[in-house]
Amino acid sequence: MTERTTADTEQSQPNQPSIEGYRERYQRFTALPASGRSREEVLAEMTEIASLEEGRWRQGYASGSVYNGDPDHIAFLNDVYALNSQSNPLHTDLWPSALKYESEIVAMTATMLGGRDIGDGPGSDSGVAGTMSSGGSESIALAMKAYRDHAKQVRGITEPDMIVPISAHAAFDKAAQYFGIKIVHVPTGPDGRADVAATAAAISDNTIVIVGSAPSFPHGVIDPIEELSELARSRGIGFHADACLGAFVLPWAEKLGYPVPGFDFRLPGVTSMSADTHKYGYAAKGTSVVLYRSAALRRFQYFAMTDWPGGMYASPSFAGSRAGALSAACWAALVSIGEDGYLDATRRILATADSVKEGLDRDFPELEIIGDPLYVIAFGSVDPDVDIYRIFDVLTGLGWSLNGLHRPAALHLCITLRHTSPGFAERFLSDLRASIAVVRSNPSAEGGMAPIYGMANTIPDRGVVFDALLDHIDGWYRMT
């Protein structure tokens, strides 16, 4: 393998624009302009901004984020969006095509995830049912809302709780906050997977749902879904399998012969799932699917109002008006790629991930992979002289956009189609090796994100970290 120095890498690294740079470089608008700018001027500025931002993800420097990125695929989805840019699924009389696209997306996803043999199959009154949403967080929140309302009506539970591994997506905590559900976190083992015994011990008479991830966002490992869902089924409790990251990879990985444990509706205890079409489904950002084992459970997700002066009103998800063009583009992605396309994409992704994992195991004794991931690879430092967050800083300076993790301190790289070009694994491992060399030669360097991540990982008063995060969001909208 050819060694690259940090100087070599810095010469080839992509641009790293910032909001501060944009505010200095481009005119800022805190009020509507007295006269509108020309469309040509607006498009020219936005084209320039887009060109500044596309280098990192096009060259494969980003973890996750852009899951396909092929120019022809993007152009195709843009054409579909343009054809449907005025579509709004709230007005089904004007755009019945939105119903066609969304119902078929749900059915195709349900079939892929083991729903074919349940009842009369996906889309039937007795089969797996679901809806579209704007993303994984909304899919998760909708399911938790459905479980809350179902438990109140059917079981009389007014103080519900949900059991969630600490590795589950933060959207479960968000849903608990929004819907007044007590969240009970259970630990994971050294392999990053949810602890089944701890989950069993946490069940109460008020438990409405147990959660597992396939795979988890932080460590890319699949929770023991079969054991957890059977535990839930034996107690008459719902079980949600969060497959936002895995739904459009794991079925094909299984066909390719990779060891994929049960995670979908083929397990009788799984009563709902979340599946992001805008990740490895390669749809445009803004679509996801939430699925239920029965249409009866799905009904608890809906909102309906019968006596509003504006007329009868009902919607399946949180939004009222929605961009029907996103659903149309999602449908177009699914039917244009097909099973063979997803199988080939998964083959390429897993081959790249295997190369990265093999390189980490072989050449980096100071690092350790967490658990046994397939394609979301988390690794931490086992050498006290090599701070993983300092490595994070150096890699960021070389153009990489990885994910920093807490408890344990680690980084992860989510492999996508952007990473399957020849030489990617070698480039990543070379830059990682160069970053470790920098950290070893400058162990006390200051600045960057390392002090922030290190502090956040150790401060016992989480309120301090919480307030810092809110201040960070405030900064997004600060114009001065």
Average pLDDT over residues 415-434: 96
Residue 280 is predicted with a pLDDT of 98
How many whole angstroms from its chain centre is CA 198?
A: 26
In three-state form (DSSP H/G/I as H, E/B as E, the rest C), the secondary structure along the chain is: CCCCCHHHHHHHCCCCCCHHHHHHHCCCCCCCCCCCCCHHHHHHHHHHHHHHHHHHHHCCCECCCCCCCCHHHHHHHHHHHHHCCCCCCCCCCCCHHHHHHHHHHHHHHHHHHHHCCCCCCCCCCCCCEEEEECCHHHHHHHHHHHHHHHHHHHHCCCCCEEEEECCCCCHHHHHHHHHCCEEEEECECCCCCECHHHHHHHCCCCEEEEEEECCCCCCCCCCCHHHHHHHHHHCCCEEEEECCCCCCCHHHHHHCCCCCCCCCCCCCCCCEEEECCCCCCCCCCCCEEEEECCHHHHHHHCEEECCCCCCCEEECCCCCCCCHHHHHHHHHHHHHHHHHHHHHHHHHHHHHHHHHHHHHHHHCCCEEECCCCCCEEEEEECCCCCCHHHHHHHHHHCCCECEEECCCCEEEEECCHHHCCCCHHHHHHHHHHHHHHHHHHCCCCCCCCHHHHHHHHHCCCHHHHHHHHHHHHHHHCCCC
Distance in angstroms (rounded) separating the CA atoms of residues 39 and 43: 6
Q: Which residue has the tokens 């989480």?
A: 462
pLDDT in tens, 14-66: 778 888 888 889 999 989 999 999 999 999 999 999 999 888 888 889 999 99
pLDDT in tens, 322-367: 999 999 999 999 999 999 999 999 999 999 999 999 999 999 999 9
pLDDT in tens, 425-470: 999 999 999 999 999 998 776 656 555 555 555 566 667 778 888 8
pLDDT in tens, 258-313: 999 999 999 999 999 999 999 999 999 999 999 999 999 999 999 999 999 999 89
Domain boundaries along the sequence of the chain: 96-334
Q: Which two tokens stand for residue 256?
A: 């390719």
Q: Which residue has the tokens 């931002």?
A: 53
Query: Which residue type sits at 323?
Result: A
What CATH number should be reported for the domain whose range is 96-334?
3.40.640.10
CA atoms within 13 A on the CB side of 271: 24
Residue 154 is predicted with a pLDDT of 96
Is the CB of residue 133 less than 8 Å from the CB of residue 301? Answer: no
pLDDT in tens, 304-326: 999 999 998 999 999 999 999 99
Categorize the per-residue pLDDT at 368 as very low, low, confident or very high, splitting at 50, 70 and 90. Answer: very high
